[in-house]
Amino acid sequence: MLEVIRELSKKTESKIVMVVLDGVGGLPLEPNGETELASATTPNLDALARESQLGLIELVGAGITPGSGPGHLSLFGYDPLKYTVGRGALSAVGIGVKLNAGDVAVRGNFATLGAGRVVEDRRAGRPSDEENVRVVAKLRAAIPELNGTPVEIYTESEHRFVVVFRATGTPLGANVSDVDPQATGVVPLTAQAQDAASERTAQLVNAFVEKAEQALEGEPQINGVLFRGYSDVPHFPSFEEVYRLNAACIASYPMYKGLAQLVGMQVLEVPGHEDALEEKMQVLEANWDRYDFFFVHIKKTDSTGEDGNFEEKVHKIELFDALLPRIRALNPDVLALVGDHSTPSKLTTHSWHPVPFLIHSNWGRKDLAARFTEEEAQKGSLMLRKGTEVMPLLMANALKLQKYGA
């Protein structure tokens, strides 16, 4: 569809706001119960739903649980089965690290390991950014290079960090299996190369894990590292090239800023932390006249789901609801609300369940929905759609697509 949209797109004065409530889809804790969205008190979301079109979105395909990268790529109109990028590159670009041809970036989690290297906590209790900086400095001193390969280590946020293996001559391959088992009660996995070009990278990863555990021995909580999301330098057609949009990203977490940069959005700096909702609204308001597309990312609806904290996820939804009038006061021509995947508190991880999707448009119709919830969304006129159909729908509702054919 990108080629079709590229031919049909036209520049107009209309403005689009896409709010991604990360991991917002949920499940009831008990049979016949309510999801987090349905349990939340959301008068502003409910009022918006009564004036909008609703549906459900599958980000990758039926039964496939999307990572955050593929989920967002799908929402931006890039088929995640064709346009692939590892978490490492997204995080590296998001914190301002330049990747050269042949380099490999990988996303890491600080973890708590118990006796026998068994993973007790994949996120090491979600340490503060300051604690992350301290531990990264310790690793930098211990692992400046590995067998002649320069190693760079960067703080990302909380338990997350980024490692870049710099190529010296022969390019490094990124086709390597995860070290992160994505479960507790088991030992970390051993990185395995999936092709000959990645043999060297797998050796570097395993050597890093060993040296990191030695360097962190004695730390009370952060005493291990888990890797996933290896990637080299990706390339995507830009938003301006495909959609004729002057697009801006309002996000706090580096990975989403990195993804936005890779598709050609201008990343607007947001002061504060990942939960800086007020600051994000201020940035949106201050830059309203400069851009015609805004991607606004809300993170904590996902983090609380991963922590299995149903009530706190409900609270984060309610906090966003309180700020929704600020967005509506700007009178965007198209306002979309969607998730990049579901993260039910009941499962404490991403899931395959479709996410609710809402479009409010000055030129759109409205459904009979009473609320912005999964149950109401499945009744809506947008029905069940692919994630890659979101952008064409937003463009059409903003009158930014020409007619196809005679």
Residues 6+ away with beta carbon under 8 Å from 349? 182, 306, 343
Distance of CA 200 to the CA centre of its chain: 29
Helix axis angle for 310-329 and 277-286, nearest 10°, is 20
Phi, psi of 395 (to 5 degrees): -60, -45
Provide the CATH number for the domain around residue 250. Answer: 3.40.720.10
Among candidate residues 180, 201, 231, the one where a domain is terminated: 231
Distance of CA 87 to the CA centre of its chain: 9
Residues 107 and 121 in one domain: yes
Residue by residue, DSSP assigns 240-259 as HHHH---EEEE-SSHHHHHH
Contact criterion met (CB below 8 Å) for 28 and 307: no
Residues 116 and 214 in one domain: yes
The SS3 call for residue 123 is coil
Residues 215 and 258 in one domain: no
User: What DSSP element (H or E) covers 1?
Assistant: none
| CA end-to-end distance (rounded Å), the chain | 19
Residues 78 and 111 in one domain: no
Least confident of 232-246, 261-275, 317-331: 261-275
Residues 96 and 31 in one domain: no
In order of 119, 178, 179, the CA distances from 109 in angstroms are 12, 12, 10
pLDDT of residue 101: 85
Residues 97 and 224 in one domain: yes
197 CB burial (10 A radius; 0-12, 13-18, 19+): middle
Q: Is residue 404 domain-resident?
A: no
Pairwise pLDDT comparison (303 vs 232), residue with the higher score:
303
pLDDT of 238-254, one tens digit each?
999 999 999 999 999 88
Residues 28 and 104 in one domain: no
Report the candidate in 145, 272, 260 with the shortest Cα–Cα distance to residue 211: 145
Domain encompassing residue 64: 2-84+235-397
CA–CA separation, 174 and 313 (whole Å): 35
Residues 116 and 153 in one domain: yes
Q: Is residue 170 domain-resident?
A: yes
Residues 20 and 99 in one domain: no
Residues 242 and 307 in one domain: yes
Q: Is residue 405 domain-resident?
A: no
Q: Is residue 403 domain-resident?
A: no
Among candidate residues 231, 246, 270, the one where a domain is terminated: 231
pTM: 0.80
* Strand intervals (E) in 279-398: 293-298, 334-338, 355-361, 383-386
Residues 63 and 94 in one domain: no
Q: Is residue 78 domain-resident?
A: yes
Assign 274 a pLDDT band (cuts: 50, 70, 90). Answer: low
Residues 68 and 150 in one domain: no
User: What DSSP element (H or E) covers 179?
Assistant: none
pLDDT of 160-191, one tens digit each?
999 999 999 899 999 999 999 999 999 999 99
The pLDDT of residue 234 is above 80 = no
3-state helix, strand, coil in the chain (%, to 5): 35, 20, 45
Q: Is residue 46 domain-resident?
A: yes
Q: Is residue 145 domain-resident?
A: yes
Q: What is the average per-residue pLDDT within 268-294?
A: 92
pLDDT of 8-35, one tens digit each?
999 999 999 999 999 999 999 999 999 9
Per-residue DSSP letter, 357: E
Provide the CATH number for the domain around residue 212. Answer: 3.30.70
pLDDT of residue 91: 85
CA–CA separation, 313 and 218 (whole Å): 34
Q: How many domains does the chain have?
A: 2
Contact criterion met (CB below 8 Å) for 113 and 120: yes
Phi, psi of 271 (to 5 degrees): -70, 155
Q: Is residue 402 domain-resident?
A: no
Report the candidate in 23, 22, 21, 19 with the shortest Cα–Cα distance to residue 351: 23
CA–CA separation, 237 and 4 (whole Å): 13
Among candidate residues 231, 254, 289, the one where a domain is terminated: 231
